[in-house]
Structure 1
Amino acid sequence: MGDVAMTVPVLIALTKQYPRLKITVLTRKFFSPMFNKLPNVSVFEADVKGRHKGAFGLWKLYRELRKLKIDAVADLHNVLRSKVLKKYFKFGRIPVEQIDKGRAEKKALISSKSKVFKPLKSTHQRYTDVFQNLGFPIDLSNTPVLSKVSLSDETLKIVGADSKKWIGIAPFAAFEGKTYPLELMEEVVSKLNKSENYKIFLFGGGPLQEKQLETLKNKFENCLNMVGKLSFNEELALISNLDVMLSMDSGNAHLAAMFGIPVITLWGVTHPYAGFVPFGQDADNALCSDREKFPLIPTSVYGNKMPEGYEMAMRTILPEHVIDKIKSILNGA
């Protein structure tokens, strides 16, 4: 989801700088609400578990896409499915440019023996490179963000209306190596809750996370568990109304960044140098684990590789530091 969300600022810039372009985004149905507000952008839903499954399904998908009279293809994913589609499009003499994921550079960044610790090109810039190779260079400076979305009556019944600052917290990630310990996150929520100045929204997904967040929510009166309460479209609208988002190196950070919401990210065995910092965010908003104590960081690009002992890395990001950062943003410091 984060990779998809990171395309949004790039497409905003693309459509602004080339208003006569017609863009068709090929993605899963669930992600389509991200693109609803973009001019000249439509979504073609890929049913990768149904009619578009497998090589024959992808051939069917290609035949359906050909009917749109596509002039060129920008592959911002560069995975097995898109490589198969690339072959089909080239067979049809339609030019395709694929993202360069910088695999060699990233391998050097995460190496335990010959680490080259330096900032790599951002994923947003890698996306713009694809369009440049198609003949559409993009300037990402001064790119506008998506506008705040009005909350539906159904959402307002759940979240209420008040003058408190709204804080979003997304405490989970795909891997343990980039997930802040829940007991430390509870300390953060507890101290924010005591101030009575904030309303805290907890974001996540799935039955296990819903149960964990419900347990957390029940301890604090100024806290709401949003898992399973809203559609994805309604959740995006709620995120657009936040004053700040606290997230791991995960998709929710990029969803908030689409709307220009200040995002504080917590980094465990991953690191901002890999190029996945949310769009338009201050570098100081990325709180990283202590590399003096854990020098192999980043141990992986996606957080799926954690050396023995590195499960303690995120404990070097103190709850007090997180709280101070949240308050400094909300107080305009």
Structure 2
Amino acid sequence: MDKKHILAIRFSAVGDAAIAVPVLRALLQQNPGVKVSVATQSFLKPVFQTVEGVEVLPADIRGKHKGVKGLYAYYAEVKNRDFDAIADLHGSLRSRIVKFFFLFSGVGSKTIDKGRSEKRALVNGKIFKPVKTSTERYADVFRSLGYTVDLNKDVFPAKKSLSAEVYNIIGNSTKKWIGIAPFAFHDTKMYPLDLMEKVIDSISKTGDYQLILFGGKKELPALKLLSDSYPNTVYTFGKISFEDEIKLISNLDLMVSMDSGNAHLAAMQGVKVLTLWGVTHPYAGFYPYKQPVSNSLLSDRQKYPLIPTSVYGNKAPESYKDVMRSIEVEAVVDKIVSLTKN
């Protein structure tokens, strides 16, 4: 193989970056001598750095690399790194512009097939069967460049060592560590908080588990309230870095998440994940990497037959706003207990 240095482009978002991690890992494991650099945003650097040997080339797409002129400036900054090919894992306008500039340097590219027609057929009710996973779509980009990417042979990394800051939050508990990421960008993908509180109450008071809540700045008041209200429950946002959060996730016994980024941050590291699904569906290709289908609880499709109403959860009839209430609290609790028995 004469193409030895690949520029992979994936500018956003957390979940999509995490989905790409096993592909990059398998690529480097199975193709000795290949080098990969990733064009992405600075905040995603810790995600890609979980892959040994990957170089991250941050792009400030909201600042100095914004717009066509900014992307040209980015191209000028990185063009002399002797890239042999570009793997466009994003398929966005920005990635197309960057690829266009690289044509002047004689660097060709391959681009992800997002499978829009299949996904459209799924959400329109014309088909109800799994489409190709995003992980396989990413892998296909590298395969089209001539590389072997066998995800069945991907080797998960070891658990990461944790910093003193993490232990200051978690302590040295010998209990099972359960991460809970109760939020999602769209309400129809989020298990109702009053029901999640009941789950946390039931699990925390057993004394068998250390619960670790994950969320962002917008959710901080809710995270604080949950942490203060229930025993054996802590939150991480604002206390440790994103890099330390990723390392902490690698040490979990289970991650409980919506169809959102935290599920993928756990799955990319081989951590067991329980996902809760609202108006989206695993068939759309975003099911967490190598997780058994049984590690999921889906909203009642008999009661809500239009599921999935969209691929990303951004579109749903008004009558579907309570779709996730069809997942019983007892079912979530029972699944958590069963998945942490071993």
Q: Same fold (TM over 0.5)?
A: yes
| Residue of structure 1 in register with 2:240 after alignment | 230
Matching residue's letter, 1:271:
H
| Residue of structure 1 in register with 2:5 after alignment | none
- Distance, in Å, in 1 between the alignment partners of 2:78 and 2:145 is 18
Deviation at 1:168, TM superposition (A): 0.3
- Distance, in Å, in 1 between the alignment partners of 2:32 and 2:194 is 49
- Aligned match of 1:90 in 88, 103, 106? 103
The gaps in structure 1 that reach 5 residues or longer are none
Deviation at 1:65, TM superposition (A): 2.1
* 242-251 vs 114-123, greater mean Cα deviation: 114-123
Q: What CA deviation, in whole Å up to 9, does each residue of 1:122-162 have, x standing for no partner?
A: 00000011001111131100311122111111221121001
Q: What CA deviation, in whole Å up to 9, does each residue of 1:236-290 have, x standing for no partner?
A: 1111111000000000001011221100001100000000011111111121111
Contact 1:155/1:230 (8 A) holds in 2? yes
Deviation at 1:37, TM superposition (A): 4.0
Alignment size in residue pairs? 329
Asked if 1:199 is matched to 2:210, the reply is yes
- Distance, in Å, in 2 between the alignment partners of 1:20 and 1:27 is 23
- Aligned match of 1:146 in 142, 157, 171? 157
Matching residue's letter, 2:87:
A
- Distance, in Å, in 2 between the alignment partners of 1:13 and 1:90 is 27
- Distance, in Å, in 1 between the alignment partners of 2:165 and 2:306 is 47
DSSP-derived class of the 1:167 partner: strand
| Residue of structure 1 in register with 2:8 after alignment | none
- Distance, in Å, in 2 between the alignment partners of 1:198 and 1:40 is 35
Matching residue's letter, 2:71:
L
| Residue of structure 2 in register with 1:274 after alignment | 284
- Distance, in Å, in 1 between the alignment partners of 2:205 and 2:178 is 14
1:173-322 equivalences under 5 Å are 173-206=184-217, 208-322=218-332
Contact 1:129/1:137 (8 A) holds in 2? no
Matching residue's letter, 2:53:
N
Asked if 1:323 is matched to 2:336, the reply is no
TM-score (normalizing by structure 1): 0.97
| Residue of structure 1 in register with 2:130 after alignment | 119
- Aligned match of 1:17 in 17, 30, 49? 30
Contact 1:21/1:40 (8 A) holds in 2? no
Deviation at 1:19, TM superposition (A): 1.7
- Aligned match of 2:39 in 10, 16, 26? 26
- Distance, in Å, in 1 between the alignment partners of 2:233 and 2:224 is 10
- Distance, in Å, in 2 between the alignment partners of 1:244 and 1:35 is 22
TM-score (normalizing by structure 2): 0.94
- Distance, in Å, in 1 between the alignment partners of 2:15 and 2:152 is 21
- Aligned match of 1:128 in 134, 139, 143? 139
1:42-81 equivalences under 5 Å are 42-81=55-94
DSSP-derived class of the 2:132 partner: coil
Contact 1:173/1:249 (8 A) holds in 2? yes
- Distance, in Å, in 2 between the alignment partners of 1:61 and 1:78 is 18
Deviation at 1:169, TM superposition (A): 0.2
Deviation at 1:329, TM superposition (A): 1.1
* 271-280 vs 150-159, greater mean Cα deviation: 150-159
Matching residue's letter, 1:11:
L
Contact 1:146/1:258 (8 A) holds in 2? no
The gaps in structure 2 that reach 5 residues or longer are 1-13
- Distance, in Å, in 1 between the alignment partners of 2:76 and 2:173 is 51
DSSP-derived class of the 2:301 partner: coil
* 173-182 vs 38-47, greater mean Cα deviation: 38-47
Q: CA RMSD in A?
A: 1.1
- Aligned match of 2:119 in 99, 103, 106? 106
Contact 2:275/2:295 (8 A) holds in 1? yes
Deviation at 1:194, TM superposition (A): 1.5
- Distance, in Å, in 2 between the alignment partners of 1:97 and 1:56 is 23
DSSP-derived class of the 1:62 partner: helix
